[in-house]
Amino acid sequence: MGRRDYLGRLFHETDRDAFLIFLVIMAFFGVFLIFPILYVLRGAFFEGNRFTLTYFNLMVTDPFYRQSIMNSTMIGIFTTLLTSLFSLPLAYLMVRYDFPGKRLMQGILLIPLVMPPFVGSIGMKQLFARYGSVNLLLMNLSLIQRPIDWFGGGFYGVIIMEALHLYPFMYLNTAASLANIDPTLEEQAENMGSNGFHLFRTVTFPLLLPGYLAGAIIVFIWAFTDLGTPLIFEYRKVVPPIIFSMVKDIWVNPMGYSLTVMTLVVSVVFVVFARRFSARRSYEMLGRGHIVPRVRNIRGWKLLFVYLFLLIGVLGALVPQLSVIMTSLAEEWFLSVLPAKWTLDYYRIVVTHDVTVSSIMNSLKYSVFSTTIDLLLGVLIGYLLARKVFPGKDLLDSVAMLPLSIPGIVVAFGYIVAFSRTFLNPFEDPTALLILSYSVRRLPYTVRAAYSGFQQTSVSLEEASLSVGASPIRTMMSITAPLIMANVIAGGIISFSAAMMEVSDSLILAMQEEYYPITKAIYGLNLRLGDGPYVASALGIVGTILVTACLLAANKLLGKSMGELFRA
Amino acid sequence: MVKVTLEGVSKLFGDFLAVDGIDIEVKEGELFFLLGPSGCGKTTTLRVIAGFYKPDMGQVYFDKRPMNDVPPHKRNVGMVFQNYALWPHMTSYDNVIYGLKVRKIPLSERVRRAKEALDIVQMREFAMRYPNQLSGGQQQRIALARAIVTEPEVLLLDEPLSNLDAKLRLETRQEIKRIQSELSITSIYVTHDQEEALSMADRMAIMNKGKIEQIGSPREVYSNPLNSFIAGFIGESNFVDGVVQSVSTDRVVVIAASGDEIHARTPIGELEVDQKVVCSIRPESIHIMDHVAQTSMGIQLFEAEIVSLTYYGVIEHYVLSSLGDMEIKVTNFNPEAKRRLEGEKVYVTFDPEDVDIFPY
């Protein structure tokens, strides 16, 4: 069959309506994802109409930029290593072993997800600053003479905060992979004489690698591009805060464009490498449907090690949360190990003060709208991908998943430069762009959730409905919708909670107090002298509680499969 | 009751021709089978009739009504899916009554008919269970009840028994046959299981590679297969290549590759001397004799050696080496107590009436 015939056939089989919807969706992505990135690219490579590499050259020659890029990369790498060191054994332990308290642990493990690391940093500064609680305690006990710089000028502070926040992503991905390994594969290997570490190295590890890498992608990109945490640590020698500070000179200094492009390139390269690597190694598990993982019991003295490991790691990861809670309740906490007096005043301020109240309302408003867009587009895209035949389907799939590999800071910077001279101008009213940036960034979650809902719902269920006389609309309403509802709602909740605590987009795009979402209000408050950090902490806790409630609901709906949604 | 007619129906997927210009006429109230190996296009044909695929060429008629442009939900067909496709979020009862609700049948009649349908499949007491609380056989019955409750003009069954275990399959066959003839709905049944087709069908179409090879009653197809594919697919057969030596009104003589002379009845089609042909002899038509007896005068006899035999109680399967070094399968009904041995020399014979000749 010739090419012409083939195209003719494709045209014949194409669902016209599906193709139209596809074009509309692509137009959306074109305007709100591709166009801003192209705009940044142009700004980075062209001065006027002249092609230039001056600013990329500067990244290498200028010691400040060179050092900052180095720092960012190192933060990304060290965070990923630190996270791996903890997450791999943790995943193995949680999937393969049974011990008293495991269920409780599974819940606690997810807590770090709900608070952005930059909020945790506010509390951590109280504990670990030069004259923070820890140093004071150690000096009081005469264990040290002079205060220790725990944060290494901010560098280690950022790494620790990122790792403490991000390890659940890696843990969830790795654990999902591990739980998916058909035990007969390992049993076969044991049957052939392999065991212990050899078995792990030759069979188990290669099989869980795709999940691990998926987690590693998220961790690296996040740590590499996080804006909030270095800002709180006032650590300026990393890329994101530099880009942040350049937003105000976007018309005069192209360096911001170039740094954004560099951030984008590094992220994309990392994603492509990791995907290549895991695609080559992602194996179809032999279709046996339900897999019961091999679970062993731990009893006796070994339990001690398990608890020690969990205590240091998992409970350690809760220190930022606890420190923020303490800060939010401390009437005065200055040059003392523990606050001298406790108060609920800051919560009163949170619910009465103009900026905080409006920030909560703003966040709710932005998130509701962005989630609505995500649900609409997510269900449509999921439906097209799962059920329809049309040219460009693969393209739609890649584009819909693209936001996962594009850092928030790139999207936000792109929006500023691309839309500042349009009616969407964020310098005047960032509402539209905030909503759009939230929805574009979180769209993959709803697409994935809806898609897997459609996948799990056999087409023959819909056909059965048509065959007994129900119209396609009726079929959609009474058969398909109820069956995919749990997935869609869960995807929506995850989108929503992510939008509620979105950092990079919020810090960059929201410039006037009246439009601040929660995160930007926290940032703004923290800069304020006096009660600033305390109110910021209280607001952080309020936001965290909102997000926690959302995630608990999603977890209830999705059960075990929630981890899979966080894959890159 | 409607008549279902397919006229020159073709269906392409990409550049794969799944159904290749087939013509079928299913009579009113008939239980019609589409039988063929997997990938032969039988399910595609069924889905074209259901309206899930639009044919690329040809037309589907219900009586005189062209159906190509009628969407599935307006065709008034009932369909039983291979995986049953019961809606997991509804009880059996809700599954069954759904089609009536959609048709806006008044409540009292709706309930009456749903109960009736559940009675027909003997599932009344399971009405309030969800599909995941039912066994495979029970789900199958609910799927059937759901398909018939709307009193469809055509009932389509897509391998409805393939997910059941062997014993249940036998029972359910009878059940479906009973319900179908009680309701006398024009029904089209897809299967790859020839036993199912032979034991249930009023008529059947044998499909291969998107085309129809033969249409006829089970007896016609089994005893008069039109070609060697059908002879091999429906039941088992031994195929012996040869050349026609002579043709008379009722007998053909074929010289096999081994040089043996095989006598066969004259087939309906054209046959010329020196034409290359295939002789098909079913295993149950071949008889084994230990020695040449007086009574065996005038019948065709071939020397053979026993390669292997398998005893099943009711029957006995032999593999013999005969007609040159060919492997010949023989089924012996009513095996004797005496056991023949592998390597034993015997004779085989068969009636020329039992030999089918196909062009090579």
Written as one letter, the residue type at B323 is L
* Position A502 pLDDT exceeds 80: yes
Burial of A456 (0-12, 13-18, 19+ CB in 10 A): middle
Tell me if chain A has a CB within 8 Å of the CB of B76.
yes
Q: What's the confidence (pLDDT) of residue A169?
A: 84
H helical segments located in A141-204 = 155-179, 183-191, 196-199
| Chain centre to alpha carbon of residue A355 | 26
Q: What's the confidence (pLDDT) of residue A2?
A: 47
Q: What is the CATH number of the domain that holds A178?
A: 1.10.3720
Q: Is B150 in Cβ contact with A468 (below 8 Å)? A: yes
Confidence of residue A194 (pLDDT cuts 50, 70, 90): low
- What is the assigned CATH class of domain B4-231? alpha beta
Residues contacting A5, CB < 8 A, separation 6+? B15
Which part of chain B is CATH 3.40.50.300? 4-231
User: Which ipTM did the prediction report?
Assistant: 0.79
What is the CATH architecture assignment of B236-359?
Beta Barrel (2.40)
Q: Is B99 in Cβ contact with A468 (below 8 Å)? A: yes
Written as one letter, the residue type at A112 is P
Q: Which residue of A has its CA nearest to B56?
A: A12
* A297 found inside a domain: yes
Chain B residues touching A458 at Cβ < 8 A: 83, 85
What mean pLDDT, rounded, does chain A reach? 80
In angstroms, the separation between the Cα of residue B198 and the nearest Cα of chain A is 27
CB-closest option in A1, A458, A470 to B85: A458
Q: Which residue of A has its CA nearest to B96?
A: A468
Kindly report the CA angle at A263 between A258 and A269, in degrees rounded to 5?
120
* Domain total in chain A: 2
Residues A318 and A403 in one domain: no
Chain A residues touching B75 at Cβ < 8 A: 467
Q: What's the confidence (pLDDT) of residue A568?
A: 39
Residues 420-479 of A with CB under 8 A from B: 458, 460-461, 463-472, 474-475, 478-479
Residues A366 and A217 in one domain: no
Percentages helix, strand, coil for chain B, rounded to the nearest 5? 30, 35, 35
Residues A303 and A389 in one domain: no
Chain B residues touching A466 at Cβ < 8 A: 51-52, 71-73
**Where a domain ends, among A283, A310, A342?**
A342
* Position A7 pLDDT exceeds 60: no
Backbone torsion region of residue B259, taken as left when φ is above 0, otherwise alpha when ψ lies between -120 and 50, otherwise beta = left
Residues A160 and A304 in one domain: yes
Which part of chain B is CATH 2.40.50.100? 236-359
What pTM did the predictor assign? 0.75
Residues A440 and A321 in one domain: no
In angstroms, the separation between the Cα of residue A16 and the nearest Cα of chain B is 15
Q: What's the confidence (pLDDT) of residue B109?
A: 92
From the candidates B10, B73, B188, which should be mutated to test the interface with A, based on the most A CB atoms within 10 A?
B73
Residues 6-65 of A with CB under 8 A from B: 6, 9, 12
* Position B60 pLDDT exceeds 80: yes
CB-closest option in B77, B102, B143 to A474: B102
Q: What's the confidence (pLDDT) of residue A360?
A: 86
Confidence of residue A260 (pLDDT cuts 50, 70, 90): confident
In angstroms, the separation between the Cα of residue A133 and the nearest Cα of chain B is 56
Which helix (H) or strand (E) segment holds residue B182: the answer is: helix B166-183
CB-closest option in A469, A479, A483 to B150: A469
Written as one letter, the residue type at A526 is N
Residues A303 and A196 in one domain: yes
Range of the domain at A115: 78-234+273-342
Q: What's the confidence (pLDDT) of residue A1?
A: 40
DSSP label of A499? H
Residues A496 and A412 in one domain: yes
Q: Is A478 in Cβ contact with B73 (below 8 Å)? A: no
In angstroms, the separation between the Cα of residue A172 and the nearest Cα of chain B is 29
Residues 7-66 of B with CB under 8 A from A: 12, 14-15, 50-52, 56
Residues A33 and A138 in one domain: no
- Count Cα neighbours of B305 within 13 Å in the Cβ-side half-sphere: 6
* A355 found inside a domain: yes
* A191 found inside a domain: yes
**Where a domain ends, among A342, A365, A386?**
A342
Dig out the tokens for A33 from the structure: 């994802």
In angstroms, the separation between the Cα of residue B162 and the nearest Cα of chain A is 16
* A67 found inside a domain: no
* Position A567 pLDDT exceeds 70: no
What 3-state DSSP class applies to A421? coil
Residues A483 and A414 in one domain: yes
CA A128/CA A147 separation, integer angstroms: 10
Rg (CA), chain A: 25
Residues A445 and A305 in one domain: no
Dig out the tokens for A502 from the structure: 């979105």
* Position B218 pLDDT exceeds 90: yes
What average pLDDT does the segment B281-290 reach? Answer: 88
Q: What's the confidence (pLDDT) of residue A12?
A: 54
* A72 found inside a domain: no
* A468 found inside a domain: yes
CB A340 within 8 A of CB A331: yes
| CA nearest to A54, candidates A258, A263, A221 | A258
CB-closest option in B14, B98, B143 to A9: B14
**Alpha carbon distances (Å) from B164 to B121, B195, B221:** 16, 15, 26
Confidence of residue A183 (pLDDT cuts 50, 70, 90): low
CB-closest option in B52, B89, B102 to A468: B102
| CA nearest to A416, candidates A402, A435, A399, A430 | A430
In angstroms, the separation between the Cα of residue A282 and the nearest Cα of chain B is 28
What average pLDDT does the segment B169-185 reach? Answer: 87
**Where a domain ends, among A316, A342, A368?**
A342
* A55 found inside a domain: no
CA A444/CA A566 separation, integer angstroms: 9
Q: What's the confidence (pLDDT) of residue A283?
A: 53
**pLDDT digits 0-9 by tens, A397-443:** 888 888 887 888 888 888 888 888 888 777 788 888 899 999 998 89
